[in-house]
A and B are shown apart, each in its own frame.
Chain A
């Protein structure tokens, strides 16, 4: 095994989830790194859409923000912000919404707004929603990439910034949300998917060198484990080489 960090395994696993030829609405940070890795490895025709209005961006380095000039220079089209949300995201044209989270709960709801206290007197004020609520609502499916810890993986988020599966299967349909919501959560320890019956996030894959107890210890609810638990294939040398080159050029 080539030695690599848990973050690298997470980013590689997240990049592999993106299929070539699909379109992906990319959040900044971990999702953007993984999406750019995918485009440089197995998915050269992955269409990257950033909320700054850059459609089909092909950056030659990792953008620090969602509005970096390199995105506009390399995009198939640059449109205004009202257009990217109204014409491109809202009608359900985008295959995958790729998001991060400060807090994620057992049913895949995302919080990036406030932690602790109440909304008007929070213990920690986070940046807020950005494009995420509508990305989570309108993309055909949503992938979340987030480091796993009991602080981040909670039974119930303090604030629902972006709706996942509410408190269980059927809630999205009842609310009329068009997309399937979170179908995949990739962490630095493994991969979780919503249970087909209940919608509860369930451990379906372990990263190399990680055991179920490690994941349980980093989860703030009683984690269910799939009977068909898989092992994530180790990152290849090529994946790591490309990822490290991206990070270094940042």
Chain B
């Protein structure tokens, strides 16, 4: 059964130095507040996993929490580049960042394999690309039935997955809806999981297309209103596009980023 707790306690208990940590949420429901808590807790040498690193991983990378990044698209959506990520890859600042790079289809299938308890997933992907050349975790495989050449990618089984959802009930059952991305797969693939929610309610009335994560599939639930800002929570608040635009100038400059860290995360 999931424990209802605070974000600070959940991160202190469940995220450890050197862990492989996945924060998922595809544009929608990105667990940004949890990312800030990891920065405050001073975790180091993390392997960060996320399809779209987005602003939240730009911040974790810039703060020096990560040793490695496993990802498939590292941009600021609709704006341009993630400059802390670029600085880490191009100049090793503030610490060198190893990368393991996939496509979205590959990452999604890696979570599916992890959630399914399988060692790898099979897809028609990466054919002819240089990704297959530079990424160790992309291998050819022959179909034993047809002889077709396909691609295998290994399961992702993060030590901890963190997602944000709209609601949980007091027993810790979690409900999220709208664009649901790979959150279910990422939680089920993980050894431990934290879900931050907009609100804890008495009863989860049905919502169209909702994904429900039963309390016994989740380790900890913490109520964090606006915990996905500047991304959005369908039915609660909209994406703060202006914040994404303004992040460009902050992330371009190491000094501006440090000032932002002091004020917005440690302030």
Q: Chain A: residues with CB nearer than 8 A to chain B? A: 28-29, 51-54, 63-69, 71-72, 78, 80-82, 85-86, 89-90, 113, 119, 121-134, 137-138, 159-163, 166, 171-172, 175-178
Report Cα–Cα, A63/B238, bound state, in Å. Answer: 12
Task: Report chain A residues within 8 Å CB of B81.
Answer: 125-127
User: Which residue of B108, B128, B129 is within 8 Å of A82 (Cβ)?
Assistant: B108
The complex places the Cα of A129 from the Cα of B75 at a distance, in Å, of 10
**By the criterion CB–CB under 8 Å, are B131 and A85 in contact?**
no
Least distance between B230 CB and chain A CB atoms (Å) = 11
| Closest beta carbon of chain A to B9's beta carbon, Å | 30
CA distance A148 to B134 in the complex (A): 28
Interface presence of B267 (CB below 8 A): no
Kindly list chain B residues whose C-beta atoms are within 8 Å of the C-beta of A172.
128
Closest to B134 in A: A119
Mark interface residues in B79-106 (1 if CB within 8 Å of A CB, else 0): 1011001100110000000000111110
Cβ contacts under 8 Å, B234 to chain A: 69, 72
Q: Give which listed residue, A69, A78, A163, A171, contacts B129 with CB less than 8 A.
A: A163
Complex Cα distance A119/B90, Å?
A: 10
Q: 14 A-B pairs, CB-CB below 8 angstroms?
A: A53-B180, A63-B78, A64-B77, A69-B234, A80-B185, A81-B108, A86-B108, A90-B125, A128-B101, A129-B103, A130-B104, A134-B103, A166-B128, A177-B128
User: Which 10 A-B pairs rank lowest in CB-CB distance, beginning with the nearest?
Assistant: A67-B27, A127-B75, A163-B128, A65-B77, A64-B78, A130-B73, A85-B105, A82-B108, A134-B105, A129-B103
> Across the interface, which residues of B come within 8 angstroms of A63, CB to CB?
78
Does the CB pair A81–B51 fall under 8 Å?
yes
Please indicate which of the listed interface residues B27, B77, B239 has the most CB atoms of chain A within 10 Å of its own CB: B27
Q: How far is the CA of A134 from the CA of B42 in the complex (A)?
A: 38
Contact A81 B90 (CB under 8 A): no
Chain B: interface size category: 35 or more
Q: Name B241's contact: one of A64, A85, A178 (CB within 8 Å).
A: A64
Contact between chains at A171 and B128 (CB < 8 Å) = yes
In B99-133, the 8 Å CB interface with A consists of 101-105, 108-109, 111-112, 123-131
Cα–Cα distance between A115 and B182 once the two chains are bound (Å): 30
Query: Do B103 and A131 have beta carbons less than 8 Å apart?
Result: yes
A163: chain B residues at CB < 8 Å are: 127-129
Chain B residues lying within 8 Å of A128, measured Cβ to Cβ, are 71-75, 101
The majority secondary structure among interface residues of chain A is loop
Chain A: minimal CB distance from B134 (Å): 5
Q: A53-B180, A130-B103 are in contact. List 17 more A-B contacts (CB 8 A).
A: A52-B27, A53-B179, A64-B79, A67-B77, A78-B209, A80-B185, A86-B112, A90-B125, A113-B101, A126-B75, A130-B52, A131-B103, A134-B104, A134-B105, A137-B124, A163-B127, A172-B128
Kindly state the separation between the CA atoms of A124 and B73 in the bound complex, as whole angstroms. 15
Please state if B72 and A129 are interface contacts (CB–CB under 8 Å). yes
The number of A-B residue pairs with CB atoms under 8 Å apart is: 172
A85 vs B26: C-alpha distance in the bound complex, in angstroms? 14
Q: How far is the CA of A71 from the CA of B180 in the complex (A)?
A: 13
Residues of chain A lying within 8 A (CB to CB) of residue B123: 85-86, 90, 134
Q: Are B130 and A119 in contact (CB under 8 A)?
A: yes
Q: Which residues of A contact B179 (CB under 8 A)?
A: 52-54, 67, 69, 71-72, 78
Tell whether B18 is near chain A: CB-to-CB under 8 Å. Answer: no
The listed residue (B28, B102, B128, B209) touching A67 by CB distance below 8 A is B28
- CB within 8 A of A131: which of B105, B126, B180, B181? B105
Please tell me if the beta carbons of B27 and A90 are within 8 angstroms of each other in the complex: no
Please pick, from A53, A125, A127, A133, the residue contacting B181 in the complex, using a CB distance under 8 A: A53
How far is B249's CA from A158's CA once the two chains are assembled, in angstroms? 28
**Given A80-B184, A89-B105, A132-B103, A113 contacting B130 (CB threshold 8 A):** yes
Shortest Cβ distance from B180 into A: residue: A80
Q: Shortest Cβ distance from A26 into chain B, in angstroms?
A: 13
- Nearest B residue to A162 via CB reads B129
B148 touches A (CB below 8 Å): yes
CA distance A90 to B262 in the complex (A): 45
Q: Is the CB of B28 within 8 A of A129?
A: no
**Bound-complex Cα distance A82 to B183 (A):** 10
Q: Are B51 and A125 in contact (CB under 8 A)?
A: no
**Beta-carbon contact of B130 and A160 below 8 Å:** yes
Of all chain A residues, which has the CB nearest B87? A125
Chain A nearest CB, measured from B79 CB (Å): 8
Q: Which listed residue, B79, B111, B127, B180, touches A176 by the CB 8 Å rule?
A: B127
Query: With the chains together, A178 CA to B234 CA distance in Å?
Result: 36
In the complex the two chains form, is B178's CB within 8 Å of A127's CB?
Answer: no
Cα–Cα, bound, A138→B104 (Å):
14
Q: Is the CB of A175 within 8 A of B127?
A: yes
